[in-house]
Structure 1
């Protein structure tokens, strides 16, 4: 009997690898002779680096870079087991975790540190970069990232622009001559489920600006600045990104990457499924286990358990897909109606507060997996 175990992390308590190990430990008590294939997963957001590093026996690299507020921060990214692929979470360098209500300033926040991580990955001779762009503190259209890559963003006097989306109104010329040549030789897969355009009522500033501290006045200014920025990008590169789906992701970082690098946007979960070869590994599975910290009706929109279930059903149509979750939210009936998830179980054993649930998560996940395995065993008799 073969069990494929492909969960996401349980945010705040366990990595995806630790969740997979806990599930295996529980099932193994009942099926000690079974074959277990553990595949730590993610959806392109937080935990993507750790999951792919764990899945590929890669390594973590730590680098001091420029944070969103211009101060130095320590960021970590992954070099995967093939030695040719890096995986970066932009939030490590330019994320909302570096700001608070007092310090946030979307007019000045920069993606420069994300660009520095890209350059460091190139210095490690990678041929491909997987870049998750969720959780940004920025609204600069990826201008800071571009500057870190050597793109010159100049005002009318030939001076380099200051950091932040607030400075883009002074942009007069984009000079690509000093751009690091390696960037066009490196494939970048942008992991993002955001389909918002760069500007307008559904654009980066209007939709995501408020959570980064943007007032109505700032939103108007930033949107106008990004429109100007996009016009100069089109003039310089020929790329029209104003209404391109996903260009508004991460405060417009999607647009900056599409403009100045050899990149393409893909759903995060699809990238992870492809890289981990989930379908190939699940082809002869008897049961598929997946899960993450919380599951509800939104899980169908690119979250790990649903993505794993879709892939698993394509590879092994008769193998039941079982989802484990620390918290089961609203309207999960819609997940069953999709006919790709067969059962969803809460892993919290007993009444307990959140801190206790986090502390007990490894034990509780193993216990839940064991209980499910006992049921599967009884059905076989």
Structure 2
């Protein structure tokens, strides 16, 4: 293999809590150039899988603008969320980055797309300053962002899931849009997942009809169903602080929610509970899928297509990707799996991650040439996070050193 004029593509995800995908790509590129020198072509392609960073990646690719919107976090506290707005023809770059809310409904013309990164309003990081509250965390703030998008004139909505603190099946989202979730006595149930086991009926009389008329897509990064042993509660509930008893409570509540939605939906409860991907973000997409005909799309595929990843990889000599933790879940709709899928046959694919939990045989079986942790030795998570950018550069330099030796 000749490396006289190598073409290296660095295409990482973010390392959650440490650096964005753009920062990771820049760090990897610096490490590559430190070894290969100015003759090397290094392409930086920051990626996302539907979670953190997806809005930024798509708006950059589609030449839109981002506006800030007052909303609430998963515990009902005041927060600032963001909308990505895109309408063909492309918006002026003068409007690309705005720090103020859009003026009322005439912000964009009809036919516009609004992109919402839901973790802005229901994300774990936003409520990490207090003990986790798995039963009470609520998605109402996501609905606030949807209403703002509708007020801005958007009639196509793209919700980007990931990093959620909520397990309420999107009940809060529906309440924000005007629905009422009622118990047997006709009273509103408690917010979050706590009240779902008491849910009897859903009153859609006040539901914002613009939400039903809009076209919805949901970008997600997992294929888990809503309920059961691989569902939202069982798999992701403990990450949000749910105890064993609370996992059982949440799962039962999500079952009740699908039953209550059934009279209003063309989909049967068992179809909703089994649909791959509907377990993402604590079932946040349940209402849009059941009531608005939303479609689930693989987030990593959506982003890779938007940013032109296949073309960027087509003539690559070496591909470096990465993420926070590289394990078996990385092949289940995550960025690494997308990079492998888009890589030309025979091109080396190297993964650089905060931690690597896979054997050499597992790597080879999935088409990964090699995987390296950024840890130079024993280190705490906080130490790795605080030095993440420098460690990524050093790891990329080591990878290129090996790559040169092979050549």
Q: 1:5 to 1:135 in 2, by over 3 A?
A: closer
Please give the alpha-carbon distance, in whole angstroms, between the structure 2 residues aligned to 1:9 and 1:210: 22
Work out whether 1:163 is the aligned partner of 2:187. no
Matches within 5 A, 1:53-72: 53=59, 59-72=65-78
Q: 1:214 to 1:101 in 2, by over 3 A?
A: farther
Please give the alpha-carbon distance, in whole angstroms, between the structure 1 residues aligned to 2:273 and 2:324: 36
**Residue of structure 1 equivalent to 2:21:** 16
**Residue of structure 1 equivalent to 2:369:** 342
**Residue of structure 1 equivalent to 2:97:** none
Please give the alpha-carbon distance, in whole angstroms, between the structure 1 residues aligned to 2:398 and 2:238: 45
Deviations 1:217-260 (A, max 9, x none): 65555544433332231212222223333333333323222113
**Residue of structure 1 equivalent to 2:283:** 252
Please give the alpha-carbon distance, in whole angstroms, between the structure 1 residues aligned to 2:29 and 2:338: 21
**Residue of structure 1 equivalent to 2:44:** 38
Q: What secondary structure sits across from 1:165 in the alignment?
A: coil
TM-score by length of 2: 0.77
Work out whether 1:304 is the aligned partner of 2:335. yes
The match for 2:394 among 364, 367, 372 is 367
Q: What secondary structure sits across from 1:163 in the alignment?
A: coil
Matches within 5 A, 1:204-223: 204-212=232-240, 214=242, 222-223=250-251
Please give the alpha-carbon distance, in whole angstroms, between the structure 2 residues aligned to 1:226 and 1:351: 41
Please give the alpha-carbon distance, in whole angstroms, between the structure 2 residues aligned to 1:76 and 1:21: 24
Task: Give 1:292 shift.
Answer: 2.0
Task: Give 1:308 shift.
Answer: 0.8
Deviations 1:150-197 (A, max 9, x none): 334456776655533344434434325642325533332231304223
Matches within 5 A, 1:321-340: 321-338=349-366, 340=367
**Residue of structure 2 equivalent to 1:28:** 33
Work out whether 1:146 is the aligned partner of 2:177. no
Q: 1:88 to 1:213 in 2, by over 3 A?
A: same
Residue ranges of structure 2 left out of the alignment (5+ in a row): 1-5, 92-111
The answer (yes or no) to whether the contact 2:66–2:83 under 8 Å persists in 1 is: yes
Deviations 1:48-74 (A, max 9, x none): 334444555655433221332333223
Please give the alpha-carbon distance, in whole angstroms, between the structure 2 residues aligned to 1:220 and 1:294: 27
How many residue pairs get matched? Answer: 374
Q: 1:236 to 1:56 in 2, by over 3 A?
A: closer
Q: 1:342 to 1:110 in 2, by over 3 A?
A: same
Task: Give 1:17 shift.
Answer: 0.9
Q: What secondary structure sits across from 1:147 in the alignment?
A: helix
Please give the alpha-carbon distance, in whole angstroms, between the structure 2 residues aligned to 1:175 and 1:78: 28
Task: Give 1:263 shift.
Answer: 1.6
Task: Give 1:41 shift.
Answer: 0.9
Q: 1:58 to 1:322 in 2, by over 3 A?
A: farther
The answer (yes or no) to whether the contact 1:184–1:262 under 8 Å persists in 2 is: no
Deviations 1:253-291 (A, max 9, x none): 232221133422233322222222211332232322211
Deviations 1:133-164 (A, max 9, x none): 33333332212101222334456776655533
Please give the alpha-carbon distance, in whole angstroms, between the structure 1 residues aligned to 2:70 and 2:122: 12
The answer (yes or no) to whether the contact 1:7–1:292 under 8 Å persists in 2 is: yes
Residue ranges of structure 1 left out of the alignment (5+ in a row): none
The answer (yes or no) to whether the contact 1:233–1:239 under 8 Å persists in 2 is: no
Please give the alpha-carbon distance, in whole angstroms, between the structure 2 residues aligned to 1:96 and 1:59: 25
The answer (yes or no) to whether the contact 2:223–2:333 under 8 Å persists in 1 is: no
